Structure 1
Amino acid sequence: MKPIRPLLLTGLITAVLSISACSSSPTGRQQVLLFSTNDMSQLGAQSFEELKKQEKINTDVKTNQYVQCVTNAITARLDPQSGFGQWEVVVFDSEQVNAFALPGGKIGVYTGLLEVAKNQDQLATVIGHEIGHVIAQHSNERLSRSQIADIGLQISSMAISGTEYHSAAMAALGLGVQYGVLMPYGRAQESESDIIGLRLMAEAGFDPNQSVELWKNMAKASGGQPPELLSTHPSHSTRIDDLEKEISRLPAYNPPRQNCRL
């Protein structure tokens, strides 16, 4: 009997893991998730504490109240998440046009984003999108794929802090730029978060049509961008087209209009 070749062995292990850990995202997309919600929440919380030590935290009361107001309106629509209590929001004082959400209910918003997201509805677009990544367990999905791709890694524990896998774990959470490792969300995950975020903001009383205006602003702020074929993110034009289609399919939500002001 011939020995099983390493490549074939890798394929067999991957297939077994895929079958045993197969799950569906909120939009029905098939996923492979190897880690528990509690494991991911712990990793997210640890990473957030590290970031708060490294980044400058904005202490302006009005700015923080504004971001908190928008976030609270969206998170109030969510089912209780296992592995943590309340969502924690921190505003970082930086020119980065960015925001993120981590497993464990951690949200970071950079002040540079507030220059591009011109109103509460546009900010809600971004925050809803980032929360969408958490709800759809995209970090778990990315880290699971990374583990499957390298069968030499331990997949039974998330005790990664302080080990050689720490940077890969940070990248899986979307913090690759800060930690020098790039593991960007794929187009399917980005598009899925757009849809989830759009539904969340509309349910919370924000204007979903402003999501289109937000991405128009993003296009202006980013200037030229690489062709969609060479990017893991959808192009701005594709994103806008997809959002407009999704807006036309939204049910008739009638929540109270939010009034968050900076």
Structure 2
Amino acid sequence: MKFSTVAAPVLALSTIVSASLFAPTAALAQDTHPAAAPVKNIVLVHGAWVDGSGWKPVYDILTKDGYHVSLVQEPLTSLADDVTATKRVLDLQNGPTILVGHSYGGSIITEAGVHPNVVGLVYVAAHAPAVGEDEGALGKGKPSYTAQQPGAIEKTPDGYTYLNPADFPKDFAADLPIAQAKFEAHSQMLTAAQVFTTPLTAAAWTTKPSWGIVAGNDKIINPDLERWYYARAHSHTTVIPGASHSVYESRPQQVAAVIEDAAKHAQQ
């Protein structure tokens, strides 16, 4: 009886000590979560009047760094057509994807970004309207330099727009080599005027993390409008002083760095 009387408290104490030793370990195991792997799929969307080839400097950096990069060549015939073209490329991705848009491409990714493969958005000197808004109306509130220049934006009889080739180098591409800017001025993709005035039916930035780049010397989109978009979306914002609207071509290292930051942190 003496043995059992002494043993019981010792056994109880042993149980308490064991529990106290293992409890922190169990709690630590519950609180520790492996960090999400960086996103490896990147989809790049161009804007009005240009095609996807302008993304090549950024593409080269991202692919060298190990990312799987796809480009959308949207037809620029309507917002619906351009969103469909983007979703078609998103369907081909094998997992989580960062969706990147330049200029009018921002409106496209805002609507197409609800696609389930998209985990983050990057706006590069881009529009980011909300549901029911269109970039044309928003641009009137904070007009760009180009929008205030008579004759800078031309329109064909069948409703397609282009930037006057004489104005293109200084307005769209002031920090590109002049020969390159002139070539782009004469190789424009004419863009249906209706894409600028079609209200959005979805706004992915309301539910997914976003990053935004302000081109400090943008003449196509007012930099203050870009700042306003990104502030409203609570985007991680980077300002690149002195950059033109062609920031994705003239400052590819800085643009790629923002995209890679999104890829590393979008799922955290």
Q: Which is richer in strand? A: 2
Q: Which is richer in helix? A: 1
Larger RCO (alpha carbons 8 Å, 6+ apart): 2
Q: What TM-score, normalized to structure 1?
A: 0.30
